[in-house]
Amino acid sequence: MDVQRFIDRKAKQLTFFVRGFWELRIPYREVDLYFWDTLEEWAHIESRCDAPYSQKERVFWHLLHQLHYWPEQKLLRDPYLRSELTTCIEYLEGEGQYPLDCIGIRP
Q: Tell me 52's DSSP state.
A: P
Q: CB–CB of 39/107 below 8 Å? A: yes
Q: Tell me 76's DSSP state.
A: H
pLDDT tens readout for residues 45-79:
876 567 788 999 999 999 999 999 999 999 999 99
Question: What is the model's pLDDT at position 47?
Answer: 64
Nearest to 2 by CA among 45, 57, 44: 45
pLDDT tens readout for residues 17-48:
999 999 999 999 999 999 999 999 999 887 65
Percent of the chain past pLDDT 90, that is, above it, reads 77
Question: What is the model's pLDDT at position 101?
Answer: 82
Dihedral sign of CA atoms 23, 26, 32, 34 in order: negative
Domain parsing of the chain, residue ranges: 3-92
